[in-house]
Amino acid sequence: MGGRIARCFSEAKSENRAVLGMFVSAGDPEAGLSEQILDVLVSNGADFIELGMPFSDPMADGPAIQASSLRAIKAGMTLEKTLDIATRFRKNHPDTPLILMGYFNPIYIYGTDRFLDAAANAGVDGLIIVDLPPEEDDELCTPARQAGLDFIRLVTPTTLGDRLEVVLNNAGGFVYYVAIAGITGTKSAETDSIKQAMTRINGATDLPCVTGFGIRTAEQAHQAAQVSDGVVVGSALVQLIEDAAETNPLNHDRLLSDMGSFCAGLAAAMKR
């Protein structure tokens, strides 16, 4: 329980580097390709996977991830199939942490208990549910903790004041610092502001802390890696799928190789 996440961060620490988390939407651009995409990311240095559960109205996401969600839904992705992808991922990669990320409604409709059972059985380590702040912990956070899943909290530039304590209460796995006030894949934060936030967060919790939102290049990733325990890249990776999906027919091998080399470049940038 939570073992994989803790091991992942302590291993990276002993190698004097930050961990790299990669985000993709399950079933984007098609369900059959997700398993291979995740394999390519792990073999090119992704330390953990954040697997998006597609939702029609992702209100905290920018254009790239919105489009990714809609492509996946259009291609027939469901929560059930997302959990199947998670199950296969766990068989292929017994040690790599897997986080499911998304919005509450599809889980609520699937049934909260049924979802938590299935996610735990699939070998999922943690959940990031964007529209469940601490005020709504009874909905999913509390039962998720009871089911042995970490509920990963988002800390944002607007939560760094008195609210930090509220947000860190019940937090598990790691803390996800949203480096910008904004949606995914838009503007980018200055390293200094990330550094100040990390000092504040590290003073309030023993959990490791990763930085995400607006990190698009190996250079930005390298800078964020110097001041945080990990870095998450999503929109820039998903953009590769969008570009590939525009060519017809979709060239699978080329997409996988582009994603692999992009990921490898980011992994190399995790060194301190």
Partner 1 sequence: MVEQSRNSFKHLPDENGRFGIHGGRFVAETLMPLILDVEKHYHAARTDKQFQDELAYLHKHYVGRPSALYFAERLTEYFGGAKLYLKRDELNHTGAHKINNVLGQALLAKKMGKTKIIAETGAGQHGVATATACALFNMECEVFMGAEDVRRQKPNVDRMRLLGAKVHAVTSGTSTLKDAMNEALRYWVANPETHFYIIGTVAGPHPYPEMVRDFQSVIGHEAKEQLMEAEGRLPDALIACIGGGSNAMGLFYPFLDDKTVDIYGVEAAGHGIDTGMHAASLTGGTPGVLHGNRTYLLQTDEGQIKDAHSISAGLDYPGIGPEHAWLHDSGRVNYVSATDEEALKMFQLCSRLEGIIPALEPSHALAFASKMLPEMSSDKIVILNMCGRGDKDLEAVLPKLEERGLLSLDKGEA
Contacting residue, 24, 31, 64, 79, with partner 1 by CB under 8 A: 79
Catalytic residue at 80?
no
Q: Is 222 in the site for partner 1 (CB under 8 A)?
A: no
Contacting residue, 106, 143, 148, 265, with partner 1 by CB under 8 A: 106
Check 28, 47, 61, 125 and give the catalytic one: 61
Check 50, 125, 150, 229 and give the catalytic one: 50
DSSP-derived 3-state class of residue 164: helix
Q: Is 143 in the site for partner 1 (CB under 8 A)?
A: no
Q: How far apart are CA 130 and CA 109, in angstroms?
A: 16
How many helical (H) and strand (E) elements, i.e. helices and strands, does the chain have? 12, 9
Q: Is 73 in the site for partner 1 (CB under 8 A)?
A: yes
The smaller minimum CB distance to partner 1, of residues 108 and 261, is found at 108
Q: Is 130 in the site for partner 1 (CB under 8 A)?
A: yes
Q: Is 110 in the site for partner 1 (CB under 8 A)?
A: yes
135: phi then psi, degrees, rounded to nearest 5 = -60, -20
Please give the radius of gyration of the chain, using alpha carbons only, rounded to the nearest integer.
17
Catalytic residue at 242?
no
Contacting residue, 158, 203, 206, 253, with partner 1 by CB under 8 A: 158
Q: How far apart are CA 149 and CA 72, in angstroms?
A: 25
Which 8-state DSSP code applies to residue 17?
Answer: B
Q: Are 235 and 185 in contact (CB under 8 A)?
A: yes
H or E stretch at 87 = helix 79-92
Q: Is 55 in the site for partner 1 (CB under 8 A)?
A: yes
Q: How far apart are CA 241 and CA 255, in angstroms?
A: 7
- DSSP state string for 25-40: ETTSS-HHHHHHHHHH
Q: Is 78 in the site for partner 1 (CB under 8 A)?
A: yes
The region of 34-42, 88-96, 134-142, 189-197 touching partner 1 under the rule CB under 8 A is 134-142
What is the set of active-site residues? Answer: 50, 61
Q: Where do contacts with partner 1 occur on this chain (CB under 8 A)? A: 55-60, 62-63, 66, 70, 73, 78-79, 103-110, 130-136, 153-159, 161, 163, 167, 178, 180-183, 186-187
